[in-house]
Structure 1
Amino acid sequence: MKRVFDEVHGTIELDDIAIKLIDQPELQRLRRIRQTSLAFVVYPGANHTRFSHALGTYYLAEKIGNRLVREGVITDDELNVLKVSSLLHDVGQFPFSHAIESFYIKKGLGNKDLREMVLRGPLTDVLNESGLDSRKVRDLLNGESLLTSVIDGDVDVDRMDYLIRDSTHTGIQLGRIDLDRLILTIMYRDNGITIQDKGIISLENFYLSRLHMYQAVYYHKTILGYELFLTSLYSKLVEECESGLEIDDIRNMINQGTFPYWDDEWVFGSLYRCYSTNPNSPTSQMIKDFLDRRGPKVVYEEIDYDDKNETRFNEVTEILSRTLPQESLYPFEETISIFDRSRIKVISRENELPIAKFPTLLRSIPERLVIRRVYVDRRFVNKARELI
């Protein structure tokens, strides 16, 4: 047993299996990947890592799992699989998370695919030697287990931890959640969740926090602009300065044991090397703008809670694309799911009720957030605003 002091949860106790996994290079890599990607360009304190988040997720999974064991819902063996899966859930994160993942998604590789590749590598032996079936861990993480929803579901330990952790490090007081009450009153089902009526306020707060943190941090206009900028920059980096970064090359890195060193610091190092090779090239100017915090700016924005409302997004994008250089334009459109009312039931006076029949803010909180923005490189901002 080893104890780690965490700034969010206090003391986290790690068992022997967790300690053995944490000592692996694939887990140590998470110390060098920021939890919130480029959020530090707006919130200077947002330099916390995927490693601390993995420990926090493990802590919460153990807390929920112990309760389920006491209630006879799962066995001790299932609890061990749940704990290990929670610790490993982010092992397939890309450097700078979604910014670099966006480049590879177009090639057919997302973080879940990368996680599967890593888990089928050296970690398989570690799990099997620890008496755990690595296949059961992969099944849980891939959605093929009844316990999947504890880690990746409507109200999962992944989101519980990162909402409060990211709130702590950004200084945004929007991710505060009554975790103890939520953990004690929630139950996971195949078709969603049930919550005891005494926990409904905590659940409301969870979803409100999620909505607000998406707007204030995860899709903050400046942070998102720099992520789009880095995605474009990484593409040029691969074309001009760094070879060996296609999907097969990443698979080879995993097999050869060099994958753990492909992290945020590696990306920074590549940017520095590329810049020093030819400091006067257009790509080097992009690198300098990125490092000097001179990224693209928003010239058009729509924030909505209904993806069926009328929009000028396509019109604006088309107008700008006819005049501005294509590489200077960064259109972005996404519908983000906040929650699904149909998957939530409330237990009140021993009756199970749908949200529609229970007095709660969940009947009013938007189920989705729609963000449409058009960014342009700084030198074209005034021209773009004149055009639209």
Structure 2
Amino acid sequence: MIENIKLENNLQIVFEKIPSVRSVCFGIWVKNGSRNESAKVNGISHFIEHMLFKGTEKLSARDIADKMDAVGGQLNAFTSKEYTCYYARVLDTHFDVAIDVLTDMFLNSKFDNDEINKERNVIMEEINMYEDTPEDLAHDLIHQCVWRDDSLGFPVLGTKESISTFNHDIFVNYFNRNYYPENTVLAVAGNFDRDKILEKLSDIFKDYGRKNPYQKKKFKTAYTQGIITKVKDIEQVHMIAAFPGVGMGSEDSYKMAVLNTIFGGGMSSRLFQAVREESGLAYSVYSFNSSFADGGLLSIYAGLNKNQAPELIDKIINEIKKLNTNKITEEDLAKTKEQLKSNYVLSLESTTSRMNAIGRGQLMLNKVLTPEEVIEKIDKVSIADLYELTEKTFDFDQMSICAVGNVDGLDFQEMIQNAK
């Protein structure tokens, strides 16, 4: 059973009691990521995530690690464009330890300048790693391309120039202006004493986020068609083609999941079969949907030989056109639904995945769907829905391209015009 409680300070707590397990996962979700930043402080949300592990008034970084290792717990965090999550997973008998350590990190981090300088070097190397991973770099660049006038296009890691300026005062000011009860959700999934945990969390967070009045941020995201390339002396060209997709919580979300799976979401998909199995144009090729609060992308990735770029673009566009000529059958639809439902249910078989599901849902959509509700939404998708969505999504005049590699001499806009 999933339960949502709003405290007097507007902080939300979402519980999912699972008595059949012996673990519990506790997450602190904040609706703050790289899209909340300005260019001047791009990367600070991700940097804060790192700094919360670097010591509090009571605990050093070593103390934090030792306390969690002593109970065999897992402690981690991640930052995206729209949110940050800090979480701990432990045996149910050690839940108090997890709460004490994670909340101390979250509420009392020191943001010590010496630690900031050391961690800055770590993040610089993380940026270098992305630069040396052309597939990851292509994913970042396509966002910069289509959301060029919006902070949604900012890289989560920031830039070397921006993160080189951060210090204690900048961190404290940003934290106080972006971490509030109103944009924070505490998520707990597993085996726990609900009343005891509610009382403890209510007391710990009673003074949270009151240094500045809460100001809800508003965004206006607009997709802009474009072509972006980055020259790298590597063997392959890593290419992403993108179309406007659907936003998180959209009525079309589950339709898009089905359409994407049929088109390019796996080895049996039409795109994989046509590009790799039938034509041998790429080793890796797939499509994927990226959803954000007010927009999204349907993207197609391929790693290929430079000389095969025109043929690949032609093949991608032809496979999109074939969605209307080589009709989707009821058998295709039934198989895809079973694939999606199986993947979804199997993904929930841990307290960490359940905590992620309820925390993200409550934070981003202000609601949590049960597994039964998700399955029902998948089952409701019809072939007519898919053709309606295909018509809305695949506008070749809105097709954007990002390519990383030896791309000199490649005119992707011309390739699109020739193929369509």
- Normalising by structure 1, we get a TM-score of 0.28
More helix by share: 1
More strand by share: 2
- Normalising by structure 2, we get a TM-score of 0.26
